[in-house]
Amino acid sequence: MNTKLEPFVKWAGGKRQLLGKIEECIPNTFNRYFEPFIGGGALLLSLQPQYAVINDTNMQLINIYKQLKNDSEPVILAVNKLDEGTCDKAKYLNVREEYNRKIASNELDAECAALMIWLNKHCFNGLYRVNSKGLFNVPYNNKVDGPSIDPNNLRDIGTYLRDNNVEILEGGFAEACATAKSGDFVYFDSPYVPVSDTARFTDYTKDGFSLEDHERLAELFRKLDSLGVKVLLSNNDVPLVHELYAGYSIQQVDVRRGINSVASKRKGKEVLVSNY
């Protein structure tokens, strides 16, 4: 496709601001594209590979990709209906309650996808956070009106997903790479290692992403390397990451952390780790 595609949600750790740097590190040639932590999909939507495997542990997020691939129109209609009239705190809480009802009853349909997209535009800082029961609990951001989507963008994303060989998975990162072979390309954008010792290892699902998970990810990186797979990984520029990926190319990049509520903490450094 020659059409420019944009992420349909704001996602913590989203790579829109780093796309230029990341794309400079993309291999010149590769077979299939794998992204086990797809999130908002900024790199996927920019590259638009013909053969891709995308995955995330967040089944609600994956449901959006599946619904858009199946038929974007019901999602667009549902979001536009939610956008009718002004939004206040009461409306936001009612929509959030309906979304959580669908989560609890496992109703993964076009309406559930629309609810998640709409809430992402009206919740505080575009965060996705759930409680111990897996229910969405982010407060209202006081956004009163304005469109929550660009309908043509959702249509074009659906067209890209349908017209290409894009496999959509929901599960663990290791399973998502199970079929990767020599010549394929894997991009890892996992939950980041905390910058400070007091920060918690966390994910945007109720299960969390632990130190042991980061160690497993590093082991998988090395395994894929041994198979001839081209691998690129982004993470915070902290000692643990340098330790886990010692021996590989580690490039430092400056970033702006827009989601942090403390302005002084919105600047930082990240790294791009590659085996090529």
State whether 114 and 142 are in the same domain: yes
DSSP state letter for 201 = P
- Whether 102 contacts 111, CB under 8 Å: yes
State whether 79 and 144 are in the same domain: yes
CATH number at residue 236: 3.40.50.150
State whether 240 and 261 are in the same domain: yes
Q: What is the pLDDT of residue 13?
A: 72
Among positive and negative, which fits the CA dihedral 120, 122, 128, 134? negative
| Token couple for 29 | 């040639």
Q: What is the pLDDT of residue 206?
A: 55
217 occurs within a structural domain? yes
Q: What is the pLDDT of residue 17?
A: 77
266 occurs within a structural domain? yes
Q: What is the pLDDT of residue 69?
A: 98
State whether 83 and 40 are in the same domain: no
Instruction: State which residues form the domain around 74.
Output: 70-151
Find all residues with CB under 8 Å of 249, minimum gap 6, and list them: 273, 274, 275, 276
Q: What is the pLDDT of residue 190?
A: 93
Q: What is the pTM of this model?
A: 0.91
Nearest CA to 221 out of 203, 239, 247 is that of 247
pLDDT along the chain (276 residues), means of 10: 89 81 96 97 96 97 98 98 95 98 97 98 92 94 92 98 98 98 97 74 63 95 98 95 97 76 68 97
223 occurs within a structural domain? yes
